[in-house]
Structure 1
Amino acid sequence: VCALYPTDDAETIRKNYTVLMRDGRITGLVEKPDSIVSPYAGCGTYLFTPDIFRDARETPRSARTGRLELTDVVDHAARRGAVVLPFVLSGQYLNVNTIEDLNLANFLCRTLHFEANRVSLVIPAFNEADSIGFVIRDFKDRVHEIIVMDNCSTDGTADIARTLGATVCSKPLRGYGDALRQGMELAAGDIVVLVEADATFRAKDLGKLLEYLKDADMVIGTRTTRQMIEQGANMDGLLRWGNVFVAKLIEALWWGLEPRFTDVGCTYRAIWRDTFHKIRGYLRRDDAAFSPEMMIEVLRLRGRVIEVPVSYYRRRGGTSKHSASRWHSIRTGLRMLRLILSKRLNLS
């Protein structure tokens, strides 16, 4: 019995095999046909009786590949008069031979029941009492779970978050990367979204990230679109072009994987939990270099990372822990460069 997929797409048939049929029986198989002789693509799924071993012994090796091909064996059986029957499949079919095929297969699977996926939001926080309440209220109706990783704040950040219904984990944390990594470990959702506690990002962009996540393993925001940067936001020319430079360096060093990046420091991103589980053993940075580390490790996994523009606003109170001054920005950039080069040289 041969499983067949009915289709009018000639390219799908050419990538697989098709069959010759008469009176409901298969009389021959044609591997990767030049001309379309039937509206069926073979799916590579079979049901055999032990007689197939006789045909395997009698079938010569393929002149094209030099190997004994299963389609040739089944074709031999059909042409000698054995009963070979079709089993016509319904639904969608995709033959996965390339990374593009795999991405399309992932998209089809993820799209089928995407709305059933639960979304967890992880927020790293240290003394963000002026803004944490705004962030939680902005996102709480759009996600299923909010986890605030509080680095022992002294200004009441944790109390505000708990009052608004967030799950708060207050403990000493080694930094931004450590907070995000531990928060993702605690997240129960199928999708994990990361966002800052300083109100520089908005929930209005969440739908955009989730829509693109159907077609990717991780979606990251970019703050380099000038029209989407609020006046007064901490994204001057030096920061913006510094991010672009470091992002393009990742592109150049992993050119064969065809990434397209313009921002390496944007916290706002969404990742499938199973993708995080695949890369978590390689995420070692506790500082701001954790952001490009995530991007690189998904690439090394040969996963798909898509970047989309997001709005960027002035922070509400406090100062940035990574770019409060030019010196802080330069130091953060140098740490990122060191991380990127060590990953490319397989030193970490």
Structure 2
Amino acid sequence: MGRQSRKYNPRTRTKRPIGLQIDTEQSPNKPHPIPSKLGDRWFLPNPLGARLNQKSGLGLNVENGISLESIEVLFCHWNRHVPLESNWVGHILDDDKDFIAKSVIFDVSRSGGEIVIPVGNISNFTYSKQTFALKWSRNKSHFNSKPISQIRWFWASENVDWDELKNWVNEVITSECIPEVFVIDDEMDITMYRLSYENLQGNQEVWDDLSDTQKNTIESMLSQRKVTKSGCFIDGLDNWPLSSIGVEHLSGINLRNEEIEWLLSKYQAKENNISLFSHLVDSGCILRPGFKYGCKWRVYDDDVGKSHAPWLLQPLDEAPNSWEQVCLAVRLAEGVHKKWVCGLNEDKQWKYLNIARWLPGRV
């Protein structure tokens, strides 16, 4: 029954064959020259070289032509009718086991019409040492404008080094570029992400908004709490002054253990380190369990009954270990129209890293 109910066709998988495709409309009247070895790069003569460099941002200008990285050569083979020597790909793979992955990533990164240039061709812009390529908007010239993005890539099976990733994102943002991550799986299929920091701010009443009388009321009610396996139960609703904390059930307030700990901490000496939970609640947000969405918390910026939670949050110590797990978390969040964020602490300040799926051609 499941197969019969499908009314869509799966997308066509690009196979990227080696060998020039016969196309009478787009093929050149005169065959292009085969790239020749030039040091650790590849040479194409003018006028073809000049045209590829000026119009497509490919290669570096050298005497009588351009020099290309290997991934640019394969891009030109797939998209610009440039022929290859026999077994050229095999020879490149002898020296670079990631060559196919990098070539596919480079091809996909340009599929939206943007100019993407490997960092090996960049000398006039600052970029992070982990960056793979810089990208320009399709309606901007790479000769007289700044790049809009810095791109890096990972295998889906690779582990995520969150501290290193955070440092790279910070460097890219400081350079006034957008951090983009391309993740490739063993099928040579690619998922693209844009990374940014979210401002998690809500409109709820916070602790400092309460009067001394209200704070005393909470302290008194806490002293009468009944312990449960998940926290505690406080009988009575009329006097509970902090609507962002606790859930109404059985004509009383049910508090989770983390909520109890947060409330009790307000009556003790303040600590230098502010917990993630405390920072979010003190920012006017409501935190509810996110187990149904595979995360620590659903984070609301308004009353739970008025709006959906904009964010699904995972603390760093519970964050995905691999990019496969990141992909699953982000897809689940976006499937329910929410943003996935990871809570990171930097210099005793909390930051919220959003990883969002993205497609080429959407600037």
- For the criterion TM > 0.5, the same-fold answer is no
More helix by share: 1
Higher-strand-fraction structure: 2
Give TM-score scaled by structure 1 length: 0.29
Taking structure 2 as the reference length, what is the TM-score of the superposition? 0.28
